[in-house]
Amino acid sequence: MIRVETQDFDIGAEVKALTKGRTDIGAVVTFSGLVRDVPLELEHYPGMTEKELARIEEEAHRRWPLQASLIVHRVGILQPGDNIVLVIAASAHRQAAFEAASFLMDYLKTRAPFWKKEERNGESQWVDARESDERAVHRWKKSP
């Protein structure tokens, strides 16, 4: 499941909803990203963004035996401390859940069509991709 939205999310409620009634899930790994020290504006390309998130999620399900997964990414103007992204990977065993969650975040950071603008000292600046994010996603090219 994927969602792109302006509203905040409740991590506990999302985990509960994803796992409700599921006795085949033995491990749940979550990652939540927060806005750091400056306001942030996130933009996306509606339709294209959801399609790419679904593609990334499908790839995780091909690589690991996941019972369920969820990606929630916010857009709009966010303040320091606000939730930005939530990734949940659920599997029968922890290793698959950990690896899938890490894979999903690495690909979200580098391949999902989101654009970030920071507000610093009254000026707006688009945030460029970081080289460390590209290195992180490269490691998955060696995986099955």
Report the CATH number of the 2-142 domain.
3.90.1170.40
pLDDT at 49 over 50: yes
Residue 8: CB partners within 8 Å, gap ≥ 6? 74, 82, 83
Confidence of residue 133 (pLDDT cuts 50, 70, 90): low
User: How deeply is 63 buried, as exposed, middle or buried, from its count of CB atoms within 10 A (0-12, 13-18, 19+)?
Assistant: middle
pLDDT in tens, 87-115: 999 999 999 999 999 999 998 988 888 98
pLDDT in tens, 64-83: 999 999 999 999 999 999 99
> For residue 10, what are the β-bridge partners?
none
pLDDT at 15 over 50: yes
Tell how strand 66-74 and strand 2-5 pair up: parallel
pLDDT at 144 over 50: no
Residues of the chain above pLDDT 90, percent:
74
Confidence of residue 136 (pLDDT cuts 50, 70, 90): low
3-state per-residue secondary structure call for 50-116:
HHHHHHHHHHHHHHCCEEEEEEEEECEEECCCCEEEEEEEEECCHHHHHHHHHHHHHHHHHHCCEEE
Q: What is the mean pLDDT of the chain?
A: 92
pLDDT in tens, 33-47: 999 999 999 999 999
**pTM for the structure as a whole:** 0.89
Highest mean pLDDT among 1-10, 104-113, 114-123, 134-143: 1-10
Domain boundaries, the chain: 2-142
